[in-house]
Structure 1
Amino acid sequence: MTLVPSARPQRTRWLIGIAAVLLAVFAFSASPALLTAANAATTTPVDPATAKQSMQIWVRLDSDKTGVPNVSVNVTGKSGFDETVVTGPDGKVLVGFAKSGTYTVTVDEKSLPANAGFPNLNPRKVDVFAQGIEVPAYFLVSPSNPAIGSTPAPGPSDGISNESSAQFWSVFWSKVVTGLIFGLLLALAAIGLSLIYGTTGLNNFAHGELVTFGALMAYTFSGILHWPAWIAIIIAVVLGGAFGWVQNAGLWAPLRKRNLGLIPLMIVTIGLSLALRYIFVFFWGADRLTLPNSTKPFLVVGAISLKFTDVAGAVVAIVLLLAVAYVLLRTKIGKATRAVADNRSLAAASGIDVEGVIRTVWIGGAALAALSGVFVGYYQSLRWDTGASILLLIFAAVTLGGLGTAFGALIGSIVIGVFINVSTVWLPENLKYVAALVVMILILLFRPQGILGRRDRIG
């Protein structure tokens, strides 16, 4: 009898090797010298933009929307906070806060240029929420606005309602744009989760940790080792894909071979999620971390002010989402993925390597989740539980779009992202996730299969 050598020992050696590399990255990033440098970088305030919460005050002329420099603005609020700041050459100034809460912002009208007029809605109250970076407090200066304490003349010519309406729409469209960006970043993670569910039937509650892993890898190489951001992002994506391969090869593939039920598998994902979160805490600490990023506006359109990383994240997300659509619709691996998602047994009987497809989906989904984590870290800073904090939104996007449909996950992500941002115009910041979930429930009441969910799936 001739014995055929098994490929399992070689696969095991590869698995052990990649796991050793990942552990080496963990250990290297957690060395005392690097942690000291990281803590110094994140705990020493360089400017208000690096604070855990901050407010961007912008005083503008209503006539041509140019910024008004050298305007004195007083900010008071929680725990006796009382600070007076002066706007810069662009009419803007950042104020950092140690605590979230409601703050009163008052423009000193005596510091305004002569004949410029007065700001609208002065003073005003602004809610600064946890993780809120550069919360807007915009003032339009116009001769038609009344001074503080004055009584406006009656009639439609007082300009108050027009100014209030202009302020509302400027804030509204700003939130729509930032919501679209967040929705695109959410879609990168949601598509991977949807494809994993479609090909394996697994609801992966540890998917959020793939998002966190990517963000922490970018922070390690960019924030601690000070490598160029683009190199750090590429490394984070590659390591994220490798992490997905390790998870599938070391845990999920063996459990599938043992025909473990979906409910026990789901419980395993919950346990893995908790374990990974506290591994992240052990190596990177529980403090909020900040990726090196410029706070200067890169694109300003009216009241909409975006950083370079906001624009870059949206562009990269759109390109990758189009690439995923092309792969799913035009390539052999994409057609095989759709076949496995529709009928796994029939796909296997047709000669498709089901395990190979699942392996590819895990690598690609984890890489997309890692990239999503990187740009979410630029968007709102990061912590050990960044992925876990948006996991419910990722599941909501997948469910809203239609379980197992990649294109549905994209649509659901954009709907969720826009709605949670726009809802803060009327609702407190801490209720925005609740509002998004309520909308999801209402849509599912009328379309239980989701927006793009149907019997013959296309993604």
Structure 2
Amino acid sequence: MALLAFLALCGTFQARSAPGANAAGVQLIVTVTGADSKPAAKVAITVADAAGQLIKGTTDADGKATIALTESGRYGVYFDVATLPSGVGPAANPTVRATTGNISPQFTAITLTAGGVRTEVTPAPLAAPSATGTASSTGSAAAGGEAGGGSASSADSTSFLDQLSSKISTGLTFGLLLGLASIGLSLIYSTTGLNNFAHGELVTFGAFMAYMIAGQWNLNGWIAISGALVLGGCFGYLQDFLLWRPLRKRRLGMMQIMIVSIGLSLALRYVFAFIWGPDRLSIPANNDPVVSFGSVNLRYWDVVGSIIAIVLLVLVALFFSFTRTGKATRAVADNKALAAATGINVERITRIVWVGGGALAGVAGALIGYYQTLQWNAGALILLLLFASVTLGGLGTTWGALVGAIIIGLAMDVSTMWVPTSLKYVVAMLIMIIVLLVRPQGLLGRKQRIG
């Protein structure tokens, strides 16, 4: 009850959420700001998408225009020069970016600059075989900026290596974040024997805490990440104190406790939906690329999130290798009865693991919230990937969870070059099954004798 009361308190700070994704394709939200960094309202835009469609929209009072793209691929954004604020224009036009179809909605932030290019051109579908980008006699929605024909042709001529490098970069980024969340799940299993089906909700909790801090309280992103880390640890502590410890004292079987975790997962999922609503939400962030090499464009939080994940993973490894508590945790994981006989406080170690697992899941959820949009059932959607990562790498191994997560992340993103996006989960699961058929203990797991 105390846990539900805490979540209800968080709901008092609820803000209006972004609209849900269009099922037919990828939803694009274009945010336009003027040279003074204030929202540019009533700017008419035309979006050319990969299906050869021209879709029009107008920015609202917040400078945002929502466009439902007909399919994933590349798109161009054109401006009606007559609706732009006086004396400013886009630095370049059309703004061509790649969409993956995996993240919905896709955000594009465009800042107008004083003296920006305001040449009138006619928007041309990106799928057109020869778009010259010159003005035509049709007079349809003129756009400010440079001629867009070169962007159209380059979208069609993207090389295999360019596509592969882009997929590998996104796969590695997602794999690191997945690994950060998976390690907590692996630690909890190794010390308690529990396959925690509510671990995905720990990740979702961290994402919503970051959204509340950065999106609703308008605080800095670093504060949001730190807050998710601390609150995630507190959430893990509350779970163990209010639920798992009493169940352990009653000596319930592991099967019964696992069923309780499934019930907790369902309960938390709908508490999240009640507090934050059913729609997709986004944590405010600048989604312009800050690192570009070749066809790879990485946003600020893609780079920073990967660095944070690597640093935390290294700290976890150092903790288990060189600290007294870390070595005690490894002893409990290896043999709980023997560890207790040597004087180790098993309950204290278990409590530390729940706090640490919750903290890692919380910060992973916050970083995933910056990587993509979040929703009430986000944890449930990645739970299978978390279990796959832990199983593939080896149950109960810290580095195994990381290796498994990176393989899963790469397999999912790279496979979309040949299979539909909807089948990427199938590819990841097939890889896990094949590896386990060859090596049942997982990549870094140890063989165990049964019987």
Does the CA-based 8 Å contact 2:282-2:373 persist in structure 1?
yes
Could you list the per-position Cα deviations for residues 49-86 of structure 1 after superposition, in whole angstroms to 9, with x for gaps in the alignment? xx963399xxxxxxxxxxxxxxx9733759xx63279x
Does the CA-based 8 Å contact 1:100-1:129 persist in structure 2?
no
- Of residues 98, 107, 111, the one that matches 2:68 is 98
Corresponding residue for 1:226?
A: 218
Distance 1:351 1:384, change over 3 A: same
Could you list the per-position Cα deviations for residues 346-367 of structure 1 after superposition, in whole angstroms to 9, with x for gaps in the alignment? 1111111111111000000000
**Structure 2 counterpart SS, 1:300:** strand
Q: Displacement, 1:23?
A: 3.1
Corresponding residue for 1:23?
A: 5
**Structure 2 counterpart SS, 1:298:** strand
Unaligned runs of 5+ in 1: 1-15, 46-50, 57-71, 86-93, 109-124, 136-145, 150-161
Corresponding residue for 1:408?
A: 400
Corresponding residue for 2:89?
A: none
Does the CA-based 8 Å contact 2:26-2:71 persist in structure 1?
no
**Structure 2 counterpart SS, 1:305:** strand
Counterparts of 2:72 and 2:221 in 1: how far apart (Å)?
A: 35
Is 2:331 aligned against 1:359?
no
**Structure 1 counterpart SS, 2:162:** helix
Distance 1:76 1:219, change over 3 A: same
TM-score, normalised relative to structure 1? 0.72
TM-score, normalised relative to structure 2? 0.74
How many pairs are equivalent? 364
Could you list the per-position Cα deviations for residues 246-301 of structure 1 after superposition, in whole angstroms to 9, with x for gaps in the alignment? 11111111111111111111100000000000100111111100001001111111
Counterparts of 1:344 and 1:264 in 2: how far apart (Å)?
A: 20
- Of residues 300, 317, 333, the one that matches 1:325 is 317
**Structure 1 counterpart SS, 2:211:** helix
What is the identity, as a one-letter code, of the residue corresponding to 1:23? Answer: A
- Of residues 8, 15, 18, the one that matches 1:42 is 18
Is 2:308 aligned against 1:306?
no
Corresponding residue for 1:444?
A: 436
Unaligned runs of 5+ in 2: 31-45, 58-63, 79-97, 109-127, 132-153
Corresponding residue for 2:123?
A: none
Corresponding residue for 2:106?
A: 133
Is 2:362 aligned against 1:384?
no
Distance 1:276 1:84, change over 3 A: closer
Could you list the per-position Cα deviations for residues 131-158 of structure 1 after superposition, in whole angstroms to 9, with x for gaps in the alignment? 26369xxxxxxxxxx9749xxxxxxxxx
Corresponding residue for 1:425?
A: 417
Corresponding residue for 1:91?
A: none
Q: Displacement, 1:227?
A: 1.5
Q: Displacement, 1:305?
A: 0.4
Corresponding residue for 1:138?
A: none
Is 2:330 aligned against 1:338?
yes
Q: How does 1:30-429 map to 2 (within 5 A)?
A: 30-31=11-12, 34-35=13-14, 38-39=15-16, 42-43=18-19, 53-54=27-28, 74-75=48-49, 77=51, 82-83=54-55, 97-98=67-68, 101=71, 128=101, 131=104, 133=106, 148=130, 167-429=159-421
Distance 1:238 1:163, change over 3 A: closer
Distance 1:176 1:274, change over 3 A: same
- Of residues 412, 417, 426, the one that matches 1:434 is 426
Counterparts of 1:441 and 1:327 in 2: how far apart (Å)?
A: 32
Distance 1:76 1:191, change over 3 A: closer
**Structure 1 counterpart SS, 2:49:** strand
Q: Displacement, 1:95?
A: 9.3
What is the identity, as a one-letter code, of the residue corresponding to 1:133? Answer: Q
What is the identity, as a one-letter code, of the residue corresponding to 1:294? Answer: N
Counterparts of 2:341 and 2:276 in 1: how far apart (Å)?
A: 47
Could you list the per-position Cα deviations for residues 218-237 of structure 1 after superposition, in whole angstroms to 9, with x for gaps in the alignment? 11111011122212221221
Distance 1:228 1:346, change over 3 A: same
Distance 1:343 1:164, change over 3 A: same
Distance 1:219 1:129, change over 3 A: closer
**Structure 2 counterpart SS, 1:351:** coil
Q: Displacement, 1:455?
A: 4.5
Distance 1:280 1:52, change over 3 A: farther
What is the identity, as a one-letter code, of the residue corresponding to 1:30? Answer: G
Could you list the per-position Cα deviations for residues 305-333 of structure 1 after superposition, in whole angstroms to 9, with x for gaps in the alignment? 01100100000000000000001111111
Counterparts of 2:73 and 2:175 in 1: how far apart (Å)?
A: 28
Does the CA-based 8 Å contact 1:347-1:354 persist in structure 2?
yes
Does the CA-based 8 Å contact 2:179-2:402 persist in structure 1?
yes
Give the helix-richer structure, 1 or 2.
1
Pairwise CA RMSD: 3.3
Distance 1:377 1:228, change over 3 A: same
**Structure 1 counterpart SS, 2:287:** coil
Corresponding residue for 2:61?
A: none
What is the identity, as a one-letter code, of the residue corresponding to 1:271? Answer: G
**Structure 2 counterpart SS, 1:245:** helix
Distance 1:292 1:342, change over 3 A: same
Counterparts of 1:390 and 1:450 in 2: how far apart (Å)?
A: 20
**Structure 1 counterpart SS, 2:289:** coil
Does the CA-based 8 Å contact 1:203-1:266 persist in structure 2?
yes
Counterparts of 1:211 and 1:73 in 2: how far apart (Å)?
A: 35
Distance 1:171 1:264, change over 3 A: same
What is the identity, as a one-letter code, of the residue corresponding to 1:54? Answer: L
What is the identity, as a one-letter code, of the residue corresponding to 1:438? Answer: L
